[in-house]
């Protein structure tokens, strides 16, 4: 039982009732932020600029266990731009969208190699054996596309940009955090002496550190003057899944960099989903506490608590 709820037993009856009323309405602010965040991402997906659509779709991988993020990513598999389709397949794999297998298998027939490989990689993450056929065909040169035999395009396997687009960047050591956009990689590689890559790698490594001080550090880093570090910190917060950090990152929805705004939006949505799941569990406990406490609370005490609540509005 959460410590906060357990402590309600030490409160006077009227204060217990007031506490529970406040607790059950505490998630409203987070929900408003989540709605605004969906609006940011959906607006990005409707832009004529493929770069903006790509930026919005690639961060969906930060929102696991959310039907709407899966729906948006599956729809993007039909985008006219191959880079957007590639990002959509990669995001579906990152969010482990088990219900998207059929859409990803259809993407294996895409005319663009990057899309095919991203879809295969996503299916691999979903433990779907369909990915092995693609890997075999690429290795042997049996798979064909509009450009002819795949062997003619094997050079892309040595191109970091193409590898990142194909969702196979886990093996590239100098990419500091998962899902890094090509613009961020260029920024890092142009300014190696600044230590940005090393700091971004440390931020990524700290994402799962349970210490509370690390959560505060990540929030502070979202305000760093270097936009790559701001994005890295937001991705770390998303992976951390600590809804207590939600309020601290809401200002990033207005960040000067589009890439950071998109990552912030996806992170806020994910943390809101986490908070809602926690609230649902805690609400059941609170309801049980109310059921047990009500026989000991007089009608006068309930009326006093209600009056106090109305006075705060």
| This prediction's pTM | 0.63
Full 3-state SS string of 19-33: HHHHHHCCCHHHHHH
Backbone angles phi, psi at 144, to 5 degrees: -115, 155
Q: How many residues does the chain have?
A: 313
* Predicted local confidence at residue 91, as pLDDT: 93
CA separation for the pair 264, 238 (Å, rounded): 9
CA atoms 48, 52, 57, 60: torsion sign? negative
* Predicted local confidence at residue 4, as pLDDT: 46
Q: Using an 8 Å Cβ cutoff, are 247 and 279 in contact? A: no
* Predicted local confidence at residue 8, as pLDDT: 46
CA atoms within 13 A of residue 313's CA, in its CB half-sphere: 9
Number of DSSP helices (H) and strands (E) in the chain, helices first: 17, 2
Distance of CA 75 to the CA centre of its chain: 18
* Predicted local confidence at residue 245, as pLDDT: 94
SS3 state of residue 118 = helix
User: pLDDT tens, position by position, for the chain (313 residues)?
Assistant: 444 444 544 555 555 555 555 555 555 556 688 888 999 999 999 999 999 999 999 899 999 989 999 999 999 999 999 989 999 999 999 999 989 999 999 999 888 877 888 898 899 889 998 888 877 777 566 665 544 434 434 444 445 455 444 444 433 333 333 445 555 555 655 655 566 766 777 677 778 888 888 899 999 999 999 888 899 899 999 989 999 999 999 999 999 999 899 999 999 999 999 988 887 777 777 767 666 665 665 666 656 666 665 565 5
CA separation for the pair 268, 38 (Å, rounded): 9
């Amino acid at each position: 039982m959460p410590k906060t709820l357990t402590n309600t037993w030490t409160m006077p009856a009227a204060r217990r009732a007031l506490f529970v009323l406040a607790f059950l309405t505490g998630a409203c602010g987070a929900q408003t932020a989540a709605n605004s965040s969906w609006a940011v991402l959906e607006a990005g997906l409707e832009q004529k600029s493929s770069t903006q659509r790509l930026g919005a779709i690639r961060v969906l991988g930060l929102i696991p266990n959310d039907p709407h993020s899966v729906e948006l990513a599956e729809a993007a598999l039909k985008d006219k731009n191959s880079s957007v389709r590639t990002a959509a397949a990669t995001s579906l794999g990152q969010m482990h969208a088990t219900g998207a297998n059929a859409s990803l298998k259809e993407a294996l027939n895409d005319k663009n190699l990057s899309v095919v490989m991203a879809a295969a990689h996503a299916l691999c993450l979903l433990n779907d054996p369909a990915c092995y056929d693609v890997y075999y065909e690429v290795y042997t040169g049996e798979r064909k596309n509009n450009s002819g035999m795949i062997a003619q395009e094997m050079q892309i396997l040595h191109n970091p940009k193409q590898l990142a687009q194909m969702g196979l960047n886990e093996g590239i050591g100098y990419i500091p955090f998962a899902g890094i956009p090509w613009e961020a990689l260029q920024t890092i590689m142009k300014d190696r002496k600044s230590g940005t890559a090393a700091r971004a790698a440390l931020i990524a490594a700290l994402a799962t550190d349970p210490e509370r001080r690390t959560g505060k550090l990540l929030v502070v880093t979202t305000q760093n003057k270097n936009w790559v570090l701001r994005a890295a910190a937001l991705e770390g917060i998303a992976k951390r899944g600590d809804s207590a950090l939600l309020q601290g990152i809401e200002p990033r929805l207005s960040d000067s960099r589009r890439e950071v705004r998109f990552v912030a939006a996806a992170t806020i949505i994910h943390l809101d989903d986490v908070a809602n799941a926690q609230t649902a569990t805690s609400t059941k406990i609170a309801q049980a506490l109310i059921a047990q406490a009500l026989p000991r609370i007089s009608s006068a005490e309930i009326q006093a608590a209600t009056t106090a609540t109305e006075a705060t509005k």
